[in-house]
Amino acid sequence: MDFSPLEKSENLGHLMVKLHDVYNEYKQDIFGTVFSQNRISDVVEEILTEDNITEEEQALVTEILLALIKEAESKLKAAIADRISVIDGAPHKLSFELANNEIDVARPILENSVTLTDDDLIYLINTKTGEHWQSIARRRSLEDAIINKLADTNDTMTYNALLKNFSIRLTHYSGGKIAEKAQKEHLLANGLLARDELSKSIILDIYQHVGEALQRQIQKKYNYSSEELNKAIHDISHELSDGEALSTAHMDAYEQTALDDNEDGESAGIVSHKEAFLDTERITKQDEEYQTALKYKNNGELDIALMIRHLRRKQFRSFICQLAVLSDLDPGLIKDILRQPYGKGLAIICVGLDISKADYMNFFLLTQPLRGSSRIVSDANISKAMSTYSRVDPRNAAQILENKFNSGEHIR
């Protein structure tokens, strides 16, 4: 691979030399595969985030990195894709090349990259299958046309990913498609009922095809009696004409995330419960991560976006220390709070700090490895976590924070 076109560049020359060196080390496997993969990814990130480069240099960088990716084996591609997926200004051709790869390479790009266009996503839905669809369904932002396109896949796992993605709002069309499939797959019906944007027609459609337990859940959530629902079904031609949503409330919640429906825990980038538990078992204000969090705060850089970015990279110690600094609580206490099954203490912190429900759900879902061995957050636990946040009184939350949780509120 020829790195020479940019080796004399004022801005990129030293980085291209560095990339050349670490790539040669990787090919010779001098330091071990994972170490050298990470070194290459680090340099690629440095190159792509370098300021003040010309359009010509950008084009050359793209071609060089495309050549590197096409020559690389899958694990290196996956490492580079993971790094590029969170770089907003990553070259489009590079992102699309990675997204059009095998799923272990494509997943982080499909889920996180803002470089992909709607046309890219439609092409990938048309040309790929299940796991690619599911990754697209987890994106933080999806246009209605993409949601409808995913609904046309008729794929249960893709539907489940859409239902668990609270940062998007289901369209009437997609809700109807999922409801149709939910007539025979009641886990999807459960997921639909966790959404706030369902139209009355979809609710009634679900009600007709599920068992008594789910019917009671519908009655409770929407404050309907069975008589009212049955009357609405009987008079459906009049009741369903407007298709008006019962709730216009829209919650922008979690990005997707590392949390998916693959139960084997073997996928690249997944942190097991045991690893996350041991890594955060002893954590104090003297730790480097806490001091770094203090520096972020003093520099005005400690914000929700930074914290979620660390969570997405499974940097739980950093996140714990950042939340500790933000809330002025001990990191050991934060660690214990994050291990609660339904997020009560976390909800108190978020409400007390005026952190939105959407970001609270991001925190809750992305810290799942701290709470259990499975990467899946059950629908029941998602519902409980959301309800927990809604029940917290802001004045009480502020008081509990001021008292440093000395009342033991987080463990009740």
Is 0.75 surpassed by the pTM of this model? Answer: no
What three-state secondary structure class fits 245? strand
Query: What pLDDT, in 10s, does the model give residues 139-157?
Result: 989 998 999 999 999 999 9
Looking at the structure, tell me whether residues 37 and 86 fall in a common domain.
yes
pLDDT for position 203: 66
Contacts of 63 (CB under 8 A, 6+ apart): none
Is 125 a member of any domain?
Answer: yes
Query: What pLDDT, in 10s, does the model give residues 160-201?
Result: 999 899 888 888 888 888 888 887 776 787 777 777 776 666
Is 155 a member of any domain?
Answer: no
pLDDT at 346 > cutoff 90: yes
Query: What pLDDT, in 10s, does the model give residues 296-321?
Result: 899 888 999 889 888 888 888 899 99
Looking at the structure, tell me whether residues 286 and 357 fall in a common domain.
yes
Looking at the structure, tell me whether residues 136 and 208 fall in a common domain.
no
Contacts of 173 (CB under 8 A, 6+ apart): 148, 151
Query: What pLDDT, in 10s, does the model give residues 360-375?
Result: 988 988 888 887 644 5
Looking at the structure, tell me whether residues 225 and 325 fall in a common domain.
no
pLDDT at 264 > cutoff 60: no
Looking at the structure, tell me whether residues 40 and 81 fall in a common domain.
yes
pLDDT for position 223: 59
Is 324 a member of any domain?
Answer: yes
For residues 57 and 7, the answer to whether their CB atoms sit within 8 Å is no
Q: What is the mean pLDDT of residues 201-217?
A: 61
Looking at the structure, tell me whether residues 230 and 321 fall in a common domain.
no
Query: What pLDDT, in 10s, does the model give residues 26-80?
Result: 777 655 577 777 777 787 877 777 777 777 778 888 888 888 888 788 888 888 8
Is 119 a member of any domain?
Answer: yes
pLDDT for position 133: 96
Is 153 a member of any domain?
Answer: no
Q: What domain range includes position 77? A: 4-142
Tell which of 217, 239, 261 closes a domain: 239
Looking at the structure, tell me whether residues 138 and 220 fall in a common domain.
no
Number of domains, the chain: 3
Looking at the structure, tell me whether residues 138 and 174 fall in a common domain.
no
pLDDT for position 139: 93
Query: What pLDDT, in 10s, does the model give residues 4-18?
Result: 555 555 566 677 777
Vertex 292 angle, CA 290 and 293, to 5°: 65
Q: What is the mean pLDDT of residues 251-259?
A: 31
Minimal CA–CA distance to 39: which of 23, 50, 27?
Answer: 23
Whole-angstrom distance, CA of residue 239 vs CA of residue 14:
69
- Specify which residues 199 forms β-bridges with: 245
Looking at the structure, tell me whether residues 10 and 89 fall in a common domain.
yes
Is 267 a member of any domain?
Answer: no
Backbone angles phi, psi at 352, to 5 degrees: -65, -30
Looking at the structure, tell me whether residues 326 and 213 fall in a common domain.
no
Is 151 a member of any domain?
Answer: no
Stronger pLDDT, 175 or 93, i.e. the higher one? 93
For residues 293 and 150, the answer to whether their CB atoms sit within 8 Å is no
Looking at the structure, tell me whether residues 300 and 233 fall in a common domain.
no
